[in-house]
Amino acid sequence: MKISIKNLLMGTMAAAAMASCAADGTLPVPETVLEECVYMGDRTEFAVWAPDAEAAQLRLYHSADEDEAAFKTVNMKLGKDGLWKAVVKDDVKGALYSFQVKKDGAWLEETAGIAAKAVGVNGMRGAVVDWDETDPEGWDEDRSPEIRPSDIIVYEMHHRDFSIHPSSGISNKGKYLALTEEGTKNPDGLATGIDHLKELGVTYVQLLPSTDFATIDETRLEDNQYNWGYEPLNYNAVEGSFSTDPYNPTTRIREFKQMVQALHKAGFRVILDVVYNHTTNAANTGFERTMPGYFYRMREDGTFFNGSGCGNETASEQEMFRKYMIESLEWWMKEYHIDGFRFDLMAIHDIDTMNEISERLHAIDPAVVIYGEGWAAESPAYPAEQIALKANTYMLDKVGAFSDNIRDAVRGPLGCENAGFMDGVAGNKENVEFGIVGGIEHPQVTVEAWADNPLQHVSYVSCHDDHCLRDRLEEAAKATEKQRLRMVKLAQTAVYTSQGIPFIFNGEELYRHKQGVKNSYNQPDAINAIDWTYKTKYSDLVKYYSELAAIRHAHPGFCLGDPDLVREKLQFIDVDDPCIVAFRISGLEGIDTAKSLTVVLNGSKKHRKIAIPEGRYIVLAENGVADVDGIGAYTGDYCAVAATSATILAEM
């Protein structure tokens, strides 16, 4: 019987693939960091993880044009670590590459791999770059500013929302470089852009997804496409649509770094919104084109579980995907100097993975901030007691969660027809108090605790999801604009005086709206863009936000950072009104310049006087006005608070 060379070779490859798997069927996981493309000048090393594949090839291209033929094809060799490897002994800087893997006798679609760090336009091919050329001038000296935990205030931002409007005064509208421009102003001469953030007093900028996603055609940016970016394609690469040249892989990387560098120089730390819980259409990803079914939770019939509500859910419990997530996050910290991460639908990930992530990232930067959404869109295909649900936050180490407790209490639950505590609706007091203590166990709080430390509690009333605060009020509160603005100030006073981490949505300080659209993820700029003329129109509101931040920075008693200290020093004042929350933080000697801090949040429609210990006080906020230096002095034994407003007193 004749055996062709081709058949002999195929048999050898299949045997090698089987040899790479352990006797018990488990797959080998590389001990070293997964590097799919390493450029070294006169040679470049490539690798792709596909331990059960029969064969693998590397292809090199001059462009991202899918009709272009490869100028070089290299057969790859399988190692014991499950990696297929190839070395190209030429200088191929600037080339694009793809891998193609053979399974069950058939070649799968080409892919940039699972860990491409640089990509061509639209991200379907990886890019060979010299990483030294991606660094802006002074990048080696870039350092994250030191920010005390008590000074953390997060500002959530979408690149286009923040800078695209004609009134922004920004040249690089909708781009990473928008955040590098200083001196930008609205038509009335008021600061916009990064200078506005300085005035506002926030300290962390959280960027909506900026890793390469699939929902924008980067070859048609003139069409002004919009998307939030929650359809990830390449987790380790920078999104091209926010760069000035998505065709140039080096440009997008350098401009992203310039943005981070400028934010650091201006005094901000940078948080990246990451979406490891699901991908874009699985068939288009490197995961399915190298190891079908491995990286996702699958049903027995081969279909995808869908805890994300987006068509699939990833499997963090799989050893290689856990390793992948950790190394990806480390990459963003080390290469891009990222200071924190917000995890989309964090409850899809298992607790062990999140804790290992926290341990590894805190080893790089002890000040790294990590938090996420403690829920999923649908029930994940993993035991509830083992996933990072909000209810399990106490089991997470230095990982926080968004508090829908305080959000729903203050503004009314999502879809509800009332605007909650800020509009004088009873039944919300307990959850407002829960938010004030930072989600921990407290002897005066009846809501079951889910945080072990108050810094695990992200306090907010508005984010990119659902209605922004203005649209929520216009839908649910039967009130005049003047009354609604009072409600906004009241709501944010609760957020800024919470023991948790204050979090605000970009433009809400300008009383922005989205024309009533709840889910504006793919709506045009006409819906999503921030109109910077609102800074002039609502200057009083902007000032209130700024002063709240200044008050929090000046008084670390609002962020004690320790659950025992919160239980010891924060006491609620008994007020027989379901729409008033009053509390006092006392014994602050050595912690704060004030002896005590008193806050009364009055959601009711009536002016009230609340009994407090007699003392000499500075009034920091009263009747919709706030000033860190004080509105005036007061000596007495009660705290006066106007309807739909807050009063803050500092005892000196």
Q: What is the pLDDT averaged over residues 406-425? A: 94
Q: What's the pLDDT score for residue 414?
A: 84
In a domain, 606, yes or no: yes
Residues 182 and 76 in one domain: no
Q: What's the pLDDT score for residue 417?
A: 86
Residues 121 and 36 in one domain: yes
In a domain, 553, yes or no: no
Q: What's the pLDDT score for residue 32?
A: 96
In a domain, 400, yes or no: no
Q: What's the pLDDT score for residue 24?
A: 54
Q: What's the pLDDT score for residue 45?
A: 98
Contact 208, 179 (CB under 8 A): no
pLDDT for 1 beyond 90: no
Q: What's the pLDDT score for residue 41?
A: 96
Give me Rg for the CA atoms of the chain.
27
In a domain, 495, yes or no: no
Q: What's the pLDDT score for residue 418?
A: 93
First-to-final CA distance of the chain? 98
- As for how many domains the chain has, the answer is 3
Q: What is the pLDDT averaged over residues 510-517? A: 97
Residue of 161, 218, 288, 373 with catalytic role: 373
Residues 56 and 104 in one domain: yes
Q: What's the pLDDT score for residue 306?
A: 98
Q: What's the pLDDT score for residue 16?
A: 43
Residues 32 and 72 in one domain: yes
Average pLDDT of the chain to the nearest whole number: 95
**Across 336-340, 414-418, 599-603, 627-631, least confident range:** 414-418
In a domain, 350, yes or no: no
In the residue annotation, 330 being an active-site residue is answered as no
Residues 519 and 616 in one domain: no
Amino acid symbol at 419:
A
CATH code for position 14: 2.60.40.10
In a domain, 360, yes or no: no
Q: What's the pLDDT score for residue 645?
A: 98
In a domain, 67, yes or no: yes
pLDDT for 176 beyond 50: yes
Give the tens place of pLDDT for each residue, 467-481. 999 999 999 999 999
Burial string for 485-515 (b: 16+ CB within 10 Å, else e) reads bbbbbbbbbbbbbbbbbbbbbbbbbbbbbbe
In the residue annotation, 365 being an active-site residue is answered as no
Give the tens place of pLDDT for each residue, 4-59. 323 333 333 444 444 455 545 689 999 999 999 999 999 999 999 999 999 999 99
Q: Which residue has the tokens 């907010």?
A: 460
Residues 108 and 165 in one domain: no
Give the up-direction half-sphere exposure of residue 143: CA atoms within 13 A in the CB hemisphere.
Answer: 4
Query: Which residue segment(s) compose the domain that 207 sits in?
Result: 147-266+506-533
**Across 1-10, 119-128, 212-221, least confident range:** 1-10
Residues contacting residue 265 through CB under 8 Å, at least 6 positions apart: 142
Residue of 110, 344, 433, 651 with catalytic role: 344
Give the tens place of pLDDT for each residue, 67-126. 999 999 999 999 999 999 999 999 999 999 999 999 999 999 999 999 999 999 999 999
pLDDT for 225 beyond 50: yes
In a domain, 404, yes or no: no
